[in-house]
Structure 1
């Protein structure tokens, strides 16, 4: 700890230099952030490889097609007559 005094002794300012403590805290939080980033990226990769996402997309397309056909029966007749 250092003691700084200016022209007036009544105003003194103390500054604490953290040296190793600041470095240790910074290092700790950098590691924690790194861990969280690693876990998040791992989870994103795992979900990207998952078949569930593909299945949901397929079912969504099927549902949209059924709803479209149900709401516009004329389009269905036109498609069957053309094809």
Structure 2
């Protein structure tokens, strides 16, 4: 029985090191992909366009809900 345990420890020692190295590489790849995707999205104009459309919609809703306020603003200007 002792020889079986020794073999497993030796086998596990080499394999564990290789597994650890494999998973460290995989984690590194995933981190790189995630960071590059975040960078790509940060440069994207989509966020800016969404914000502009959101502001337009809010303005239209305000105009629809309070038409008297718009008349006051045009008379003041």
Does 1:19 pair with 2:13?
yes
Runs of 4+ in 1 over 4 A off after TM superposition: none
What CA RMSD, in Å, does the superposition of the two structures yield over aligned residues? 1.9
Which structure has the bigger radius of gyration? 1
Aligned residues: 73
User: Which of 32, 37, 48 lines up with 2:26 in the alignment?
Assistant: 32
More helix by share: 2
Q: Which has the higher strand share?
A: 1
Whose relative contact order is higher, 1 or 2, with alpha carbons under 8 Å and at least 6 apart?
1
Contiguous gaps of at least 5 residues in structure 2:
none
Report deviation, 1:55.
1.2
CA offset at residue 79 of structure 1? 1.3
For structure 1, the residue ranges without an aligned partner over 5 or more in a row are 4-13
